[in-house]
Amino acid sequence: MTSHAAHKPSGGGHRRSVALFGGTFDPVHAGHIAVAQAAQRRFHLDAIHFIPSSRPPHKPQQELAPFMHRYAMVALGCAGHPGFLPSLAEAPAATPHVFYSIDTVRRFRRDHPDDHLYFIVGADQFLELPTWRNYEALLDSCDFIIASRPGFRLDALRLVIPPEKLGRSAGQDGQKIVLRKSAVHLLTTVSSHVSSTEVRERRARKQTIHGLVPALVEEYIVGQALYR
């Protein structure tokens, strides 16, 4: 059973805080895990759903490792981290289908209406938000956690937010932008220079990837002869 279907809101009046962390995860690496750990600590997240994309709309021509390899690596990367859950929410369908973030968020909202929902993205991704499908509805649907390098200015994020979405107080404490129906939070405590591209390129050059990915993920990549 996938994480998407397995976790219903808990009883007893506790409102769960849940984050969706999407990406190609080709492969999942140490930077992804560090961002998730930092977000979990700061926002007291009960669960983080790692959602590998099957056909990301913003990278239609990019050749990706087969989905089930990427999902397996995400599952291994989540191992040993309580609350980290691999998700099949965007697993390939029987017919070709492009998954959009707004659709995934709406499905989670429908299935878990009582949860406080966050969406984790990188700062560079958020700056491209106006190119996403129904991005204004997405801003209304959940809070955003923006993972960025130290020194990144919150003002840069405000440039892509429609003025009518800003709350009346438009509160800004250096780490948060208040919107009418949600908020955008800046997460700058993580500094990682690891990228999936670097991991793939090092594998292609027959160089070590030790320390760049979780140990179990490294074992899987080597065992499956991926990225050679």
Q: What is the pLDDT of residues 207-228, one digit of tens each?
A: 999 999 999 999 999 999 999 9
- At 55, is the pLDDT very low, low, confident or very high (cuts 50, 70, 90)? confident
Tell me the pLDDT band of 1, cut-offs 50, 70 and 90.
very low
* Contact in structure between 69 and 226 (CB atoms under 8 Å): yes
pLDDT digits (tens, 9 = 90+) for 182-212: 999 999 877 778 999 999 999 999 999 999 9
pLDDT classification of 169: cutoffs 50, 70, 90: low
**Domain limits at 138?**
15-195
Angle 25-31-34 from CA coordinates, rounded to 5°: 115
CATH of the domain at 148: 3.40.50.620
First and final C-alpha spacing in the chain: 32
Which candidate, 222, 148, 139, 228, places its Cα nearest to that of 177?
A: 139
Within a domain: residue 1?
Answer: no
- Separation between Cα atoms, residue 32 and residue 176, nearest integer Å: 21
Q: CA separation (Å) from 91 to 56, 84, 95, 99, 211?
A: 11, 18, 11, 9, 28
Distance from chain centroid for Cα 90: 12
Mean pLDDT computed over 6-33: 83
CB-count burial class (<10 Å; 0-12, 13-18, 19+) for 176: middle
Per-residue pLDDT band for 59 (boundaries 50, 70, 90) equals: low
204 in a structural domain: no
Instruction: Please indicate, yes or no, if residue 209 is contained in any of the structural domains.
Output: no
Q: 166 pLDDT band (50/70/90 cuts)?
A: confident
Beta bridge partners of 184: 144, 177
Does residue 10 belong to any structural domain of this protein? no
Q: Is 221 inside a domain boundary?
A: no
**In the predicted model, what is the mean pLDDT of residues 3-27?**
75
Highest mean pLDDT of the ranges 4-13, 59-68, 78-87: 78-87
Query: Binning pLDDT at 50, 70 and 90, where does residue 5 land?
Result: very low
Buried b (16+ CB within 10 A) or exposed e, 84-122: bbbbbbbbeeeeeeebbbbbbbbebeeebeebbbbbbbb
Nearest-angstrom CA–CA distance, 140 and 146: 16
The count of structural domains within the chain is 1
Lowest average pLDDT, out of 34-38, 71-75, 171-175, 217-221, goes to: 171-175
Would you say residue 106 lies in a domain? yes
d(CA 30, CA 192): 8
In a domain, 5, yes or no: no
Give me the pLDDT at residue 6, please: 42
Across 61-90, average pLDDT: 95
pLDDT tier for residue 137 given thresholds of 50, 70 and 90? very high
At residue 97, the pLDDT reads: 79
* Residue 67 placed within a domain: yes
Going by pLDDT thresholds of 50, 70 and 90, the confidence category of residue 10 is very low
Question: CA nearest 179: which of 188, 192, 170?
Answer: 170
pLDDT digits 0-9 by tens, 149-161: 877 888 899 999 9
Helices (H) and strands (E) in the chain, counts: 9, 7
